[in-house]
Homo-oligomer: A and B are copies of this chain.
């Protein structure tokens, strides 16, 4: 019952806190987004470490992405990613049809501009998790119809 709720409520408070404690303005919004992204990055690093403690070695990149979509997502959001697509050239699209952290926003279009601040933490979360598995990436997110959400992961080849 309400298993993900403490995390969800705390996540909301963090957004409020970061936005309230900073000045307003365009640049500041960008900075707040990075703050949330950074926070997510470190949480992702910590979580994946704990989750993969007893996991067998991953076969390849796709294997890692599947772990993120299933085990990692379930740990954080109590559900799996609904759809994973890839172009087999380092781009992955993870679709969550009912993304929990958007659940409290109304579905109206007028709230779409609010969405980025509810996604930044999770982008960092995925990037941090992948980073700890040796995969460098850029993660962005996109909402078309709330609360559905797509995360695009671009693997950075070194």
Contact = CB atoms under 8 A, between A and B. Distances in A.
Interface stretch (A7-15, A62-70, A149-157): A7-15
Contact of A43 (B9, B42, B50): B9
Contacts of A6: 7, 43, 47, 75-76
Interface in A8-32: 9-14, 17-18, 21
Given A10-B11, A11-B10, A14-B14, A5 B39 contact: no
23 contacts: A1-B51, A2-B47, A3-B75, A5-B47, A5-B50, A5-B51, A5-B75, A6-B7, A6-B43, A6-B47, A7-B10, A9-B42, A9-B46, A10-B11, A10-B14, A12-B46, A13-B14, A13-B42, A13-B43, A14-B14, A14-B17, A17-B35, A17-B39
Interface of A: 1-3, 5-7, 9-14, 17-18, 21, 35, 39, 42-43, 46-47, 50-51, 75-76
